[in-house]
Amino acid sequence: MTTFPETPAQRVPLPISYADVLAAGERLRPYFDPSPVRHYPQLDELVGYGIRVLVKHENHLPTGSFKVRNGTASITALSPEEAARGVIAATTGNHGLGLAWAGAARGVSVTICVPTGNNPEKNAGIRALGATLIEVGERYDDTVAACRAIAERERRTIVHSTNHRPVIAGAGTMSDEFLTQAPELDALVIALGGGSQAVGALAVADARKASLAVYAVQSQEAPAQHDAWHDGEARQGAPVRTFAEGIATGSTYALTFPALRAGLRDFVLASEAMIAQSVRDLWRITHNLPEGAGAAGLAGLRLLAPQLAGKTVGVVMCGGNLDAERAAHILLGGMPHFPSGTGEFLTVR
């Protein structure tokens, strides 16, 4: 098992190896091209401190999110017997879209369970890709329970959005591509939900460029992973109130938390206002419209800028699936509402 250094005297295990990332990359290669990396001088000016900002446009991938990497890596890792039985997942959006897309591409049956009242645009996208969508449970925990029951009854493989090694390996292909496209990278600032992107980046950095620093950002209204990283205490089911669905995480996860705690250089919290402003800034400068999670990396970089003065720093536009109503509200200068009438949103994607 690959390890990475926290200090020269301490090493901890990662849940995947760089060989796993390379294998996932080979499996993904027939399905879609690498996402582009672009430099926008106006972002350098916005961030300041002499930082050169590079943007990895995962929003240009099929389904508009890096999650298609995770879904495709998972679907293509199935044995013939598992593929014949199909897969199932509980999700609220991008993870389900990624699995649905990959299932359609490989001819694997996909069932996606979402909470009642889930984002109708994401539901429509999942259905359009041919997956079976089941709306069940007022709360995400209820959706997960229903997903497990269906999986047992139908003998489907559960593909968790975080606690699944092929998912993490698939996410790692993003950083592997990024470093190939921009070997001069000094640091990555990654929006953190479950942690698959960040842990994938740590595995890549360990193998290819030990000096590459990986930073994480979460919303002040969804601070569970951030707080756990700082105090070392795992979290489970903490309420969150962020509009950024992709990082609306109330828990830590067994496969990612130890690696995150030991491997991240720093972990910061951005306000909802900062994330919304980053959506506006990225639209204005890049003419790409990110969802909240897709803009959080820029928000985090602005907080971390004094630490990263003079460096070349990558941020990831990890998703562009902002629904039309919320997009209009944000671009007009408003603050979006968190996506639940109960005030709680307890899942990752």
The domain segmentation of the chain, as residue ranges, is 3-65+164-331, 67-158
d(CA 304, CA 269): 10
Give domain 3-65+164-331's CATH architecture. 3-Layer(aba) Sandwich (3.40)
HSE-CB at 189 with a 13 A cutoff on CA atoms is 32
- What residue has token string 């842990």? 199
Whether the CB-CB separation of 225 and 198 falls below 8 Å is answered with: no
Please give the pLDDT value at position 9: 36
Please give the pLDDT value at position 140: 76
Q: Give the amino acid at 136.
A: V
CA dihedral 296, 297, 302, 308 (to 10 degrees): 160
* CATH top class, domain 67-158: alpha beta
pTM: 0.93
Question: Residues 4-30: pLDDT tens digits?
Answer: 344 333 464 799 999 999 999 999 999
Please give the pLDDT value at position 153: 97
Do the strands 132-135 and 110-114 form a parallel or antiparallel pair, or are they unpaired? parallel
Calculate mean pLDDT across residues 91-103. 94
CB atoms under 10 Å from CB of 23, counted, come to 18
Residue 210, both tokens: 């030990």
Do the strands 187-191 and 312-316 form a parallel or antiparallel pair, or are they unpaired? parallel
Same fold, 3-65+164-331 and 67-158: yes
pLDDT confidence bin for 338, thresholds 50/70/90: low
Please give the pLDDT value at position 2: 38
Question: Residues 26-58: pLDDT tens digits?
Answer: 999 999 999 999 999 999 999 999 999 999 999
Question: Residues 225-267: pLDDT tens digits?
Answer: 999 999 999 999 898 899 998 898 899 999 999 999 999 999 9
Please give the pLDDT value at position 144: 87
Calculate mean pLDDT across residues 99-116. 96
Question: Residues 55-89: pLDDT tens digits?
Answer: 999 999 999 999 999 999 999 999 999 999 999 99
Please give the pLDDT value at position 343: 36
DSSP annotation string for 210-274: TT-EEEEEEETTS-HHHHHHHH-----S-----S-GGG------TTTHHHHHHH-SEEEEE-HHH
Calculate mean pLDDT across residues 177-199. 98
Burial class (CB in 10 A: 0-12, 13-18, 19+), 84: exposed
